[in-house]
């Protein structure tokens, strides 16, 4: 398999079908062989049914997974990684914050790099939600100050990675919790000297449905994650 696209979903019924179609439209004309893996945590709104109803297209395989025993963004991505078979792996949100039109460039850069980060904070990147843009920008400065790794968007969650490079990292240590897994992933990728590049992406607003982000606990958990990475004594992840 050429490319695996992992889509963690919770209550994304009204977004997921359009997103899968848009991913196929961006990659299939390039002759890429792709699999799309939706990892749903038993959403009550019928997200998994919407995935399964998606009509098959030549060259594109859509696989639906429903977890009933576990819930959480990072472990859902971890599960998708374990199930995937692509040499190149893409991870993105399923509400159109992340645009499928960026994927071809991101996977192409994997010929040269191990990890390609969709970044809001390199020239040309941005975010429709201006308030959140400013907050994320300032918070990323804090993370850079603590970790000193030069990664401009440690909160992205939109990335493409070479399978081999990804599996060289401690995946169980990294993929825990909510979006803070991305702080761990990028920090560990830097420490292991993976070749990393950030490409500009623009986050549009969620199309349908509701946000699962809880900002109070995110701020606490992300800050704790960054500080633990910085001040840990041993070489383990946290
Ligand atoms: N499988 C799984 N996916 C999740 C879980 N929580 C969030 N997601 C998915 O993770 C992605 C990010 O969640 P969002 O709710 O969009 O978070 P956000 O981007 O901060 O919030 P918005 O401003 O509403 O876009 C989406 O694709 C969600 O469906 C979860 O517990 N399990
Ligand atoms: Mg979102």
CA 9–ligand 1 middle distance (angstroms) = 7
Residue numbers of the chain with a pLDDT score lower than 50: none
Name the residue among 15, 10, 11, 17 with its Cα closest to residue 73: 10
- CA-nearest of 223, 169, 7, 199 to 102 is 199
Q: What whole-number distance in Å separates Cα of residue 29 and Cα of residue 25?
A: 7
Pick the atom of ligand 1 nearest to 94's CA. 27
Residue 16 resides in a domain: yes
In a domain, 236, yes or no: no
Looking at the DSSP bridge assignments, the partners of residue 194 are none
pLDDT value of residue 233: 61
Give residue 238's pLDDT: 53
Answer whether residue 237 is part of any domain: no
Q: Is 80 touching ligand 1 by the criterion CB < 6 Å?
A: no
- Give the largest CA-CA distance in the chain: 51
Report whether residue 37 contacts ligand 1, using a CB cutoff of 6 Å.
no
CA of 98 from ligand 2 middle (Å) equals 8
> How many structural domains compose the chain?
1
Task: Annotate 112-133 with DSSP letters as a single string.
Answer: T-SEEEEESSSTT-EES-HHHH
Instruction: Report the separation in Å between the CA atom of 99 and the middle of ligand 2, taken as the mean of its atom positions.
Output: 11
Asked if 33 contacts 66 with a C-beta cutoff of 8 angstroms, the reply is no
39: three-class secondary structure by DSSP: strand
> 3-class DSSP state for residue 100?
helix
Whether 60 is in the pocket of ligand 1, judged by its Cβ within 6 Å, is no
Does the residue 238 lie in any domain?
no
Within a domain: residue 65? yes
User: Ligand 2: distance of its center to the CA of 9 in Å?
Assistant: 10
Give residue for tokens 């098959």: 56
**Residue 170 CA, ligand 1 centroid: distance in Å:** 23
Residue of the nearest CA to atom 29 in ligand 1? 9
Name the residue of 93, 135, 155, 207 whose CB sits within 8 Å of the most ligand 1 atoms, as the mutation to test its pocket: 93
Dist CA 137 CA 126 (whole Å): 10
Domain at 96, CATH number: 3.90.550.10
Q: Confirm whether 216 is domain-assigned.
A: yes
Distance CA 205, CA 85 (A): 31
H helices of the chain, in order, are: 13-27, 47-52, 73-83, 103-109, 130-147, 163-167, 171-174, 181-191, 215-231
CA dihedral 32, 52, 6, 202 (to 10 degrees): 80
Q: Is 58 part of any domain?
A: yes
Return the best residue to mutate from 5, 6, 7, 8 for the ligand 1 pocket (most ligand atoms within 8 A of CB). Answer: 8
Ligand 1 atom with minimal separation from the 206 CA: 25
| Confidence at residue 187, expressed as pLDDT on a 0 to 100 scale | 97
Model's pTM, two decimal places?
Answer: 0.97
Encode 90-99: b = buried (16+ Cβ within 10 Å), e = exposed.
bbbbbbbbbb
Cβ 86 vs Cβ 163: under 8 Å: yes
Q: Which domain holds residue 80?
A: 3-231
Does residue 112 lie in a domain region?
yes
């Amino acid at each position: 398999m050429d490319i695996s696209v992992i889509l963690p979903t919770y209550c994304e019924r009204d977004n997921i079908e359009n997103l899968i179609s848009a991913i196929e439209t961006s990659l299939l004309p390039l002759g890429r062989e792709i699999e799309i893996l939706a990892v749903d945590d038993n959403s009550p709104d019928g997200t998994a049914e919407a995935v399964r109803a998606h009509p098959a297209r030549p060259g594109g395989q859509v696989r639906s997974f429903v977890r009933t025993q576990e819930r959480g963004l990072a472990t859902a991505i971890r599960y998708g990684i374990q199930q995937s078979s692509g040499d190149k792996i893409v991870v993105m949100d399923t509400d159109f914050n992340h645009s499928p039109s960026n994927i071809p460039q991101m996977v192409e850069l994997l010929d040269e790099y191990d990890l390609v980060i969709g970044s809001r904070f390199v020239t040309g990147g941005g975010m429709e939600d201006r308030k959140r843009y400013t907050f994320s920008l300032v918070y990323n400065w804090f993370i850079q100050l603590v970790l000193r790794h030069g990664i401009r968007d440690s909160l992205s969650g939109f990335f493409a990675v070479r399978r081999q490079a990804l599996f060289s990292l401690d995946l169980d240590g990294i993929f825990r919790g909510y979006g803070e897994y991305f702080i761990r992933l990028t920090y560990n990728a830097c420490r292991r000297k993976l070749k990393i590049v950030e490409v500009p992406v623009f986050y549009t607003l969620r199309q349908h449905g509701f946000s699962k982000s809880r900002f109070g606990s995110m701020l606490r958990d992300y800050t704790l994650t960054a500080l633990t990475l910085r001040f840990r004594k041993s070489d383990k992840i946290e």
